[in-house]
Amino acid sequence: MGASHRSATLEGMDQSDVFMYAGHARYGSGLDFDAKFKVTINWEGMPGAPAPGKVVYEDLEALKKVLGKNNQAVLKKVAELEQAGRLSIEGKSEGNILINPENQHPQELGAVLMYKSLQGQDSPLPQALTQDHYRL
């Protein structure tokens, strides 16, 4: 569903004199029509693991509680798990119109996960801006 909303939005921007978006721009990334992302952590064989085997987290607050006592500890644990190949992010980015390629909230877990899920996605706007279609 996100991809069709994204396409309709870009078409509306291209064909209209004025376009207004009243939704959110998840963590400053841009217009977003996708569902939440999922984080899978493989706790198998890890000392002091909060759960056995692979666990899928869909609730950001629950994930934060499992990963650490404060934001710095949470981000450190994410980096460790990712480096060990134990963390994967299932994010849908087909519905995101990436405007800000730089993470504006690097100290927030949600933003870190969002930008990891958007890696490799190009924004459709820069080319359109150079073609003089949009005014931001």
Predicted pLDDT at 15: 78
**CA-based nearest residue to 5, from 46, 33, 43:** 33
SS3 label, residue 24: coil
Q: In the prediction, which pLDDT does 33 show?
A: 75
pTM of the predicted protein model: 0.75
The per-residue pLDDT of the chain, averaged, comes to 83
Mean pLDDT of 51-74: 94
| pLDDT reported for residue 124 | 64
The per-residue pLDDT for 118 is 83
> What amino acid is encoded at 11 in this protein?
E
Residue 89 has pLDDT above 80, yes or no: yes
What are phi and psi for residue 92, nearest 5 degrees? Answer: -100, 120
Q: What is the mean pLDDT of residues 65-89?
A: 94
Looking at residue 44, what is its pLDDT? Answer: 96
Cβ contact 53:59 at 8 Å: no
**What mean pLDDT is predicted for residues 18-33?**
77
Look at residue 75 and tell me whether its pLDDT is greater than 80. Answer: yes
